[in-house]
Amino acid sequence: MTDDSAMEFENQDGSRVTVTNPLLKAAYLCLGRAWPRALSFGELLDGAGALLGGRHTDDAEKVLTEAMFILACSGEVSFLLSRPFLLKEATEYPQASLLARRQAQTGPLVTNLLHQTVQLEDDRTRDFLQLLDGARTIDQITAEMTEKFGPTIQVDQKDSAGKPADPLLLSTRESVQRSLAMVGKLGLLVA
């Protein structure tokens, strides 16, 4: 990452960008790790610098500013006046946005806290989202999912080529943990 070799990044909609500048590669990694949280410019610059071991050039701020401007113009990044009230990781009483929960009652497309449309994987995920009302603990959610779907849940998988692979059998607790992580990554958990 610290050299000028090419590194390719893919965003949520599948578009790709190839980067050679070490600072910009580090910045992309910071953005990906933080997603869906927003980072201030200072946090991004500091995070990229930390990934480079504190080594970056004197013009790092200018280089990053120009790169973010280009990315914003192409729709790859967005600038916000204030941070959205979203969480990446679930609390003891996880809560999904009310809008997403209501939308999930009628179909698989919901709006996340970044005003993007995301598609929920299946009806089980839609049911799961309904339980994230902030009034239930993770243990209570697990108990309700176990009651509705049984003690184990089969998760369909795809191989590296995107073709169906052998399904994975998870305990309901493991499935709830995976689902919470997925809902957080989709930008649906509120603070």
* Tokens, residue 77: 């990044």
Q: What pLDDT, on a 0 to 100 scale, did the predictor assign at position 110? A: 96
pLDDT over 80 at 144, yes or no: yes
Instruction: Label residues 30-56 b or e (16+ Cβ within 10 Å = b).
Output: bbeeebbbbbeeeebbebbbebbeeeb
| Alpha-carbon distances of 41 from 33, 61, 88, 113, rounded to whole Å | 15, 9, 19, 20
Cα separation, 3 vs 98, in Å, equals 45
128 pLDDT band (50/70/90 cuts)? very high
| Alpha-carbon distances of 57 from 22, 39, 54, rounded to whole Å | 10, 21, 10
135 pLDDT band (50/70/90 cuts)? very high
Q: What is the mean pLDDT of residues 77-102?
A: 85
Cβ distance 79 to 69 under 8 Å? no
| Alpha-carbon distances of 119 from 13, 18, 39, 63, 150, rounded to whole Å | 12, 27, 24, 35, 24
| Alpha-carbon distances of 186 from 96, 137, 169, rounded to whole Å | 10, 20, 23
Residue (of 68, 10, 73, 72) closest to 43 by Cα position = 68
Cα separation, 142 vs 140, in Å, equals 5
Per-chain mean pLDDT for the chain: 86
pLDDT over 80 at 114, yes or no: yes
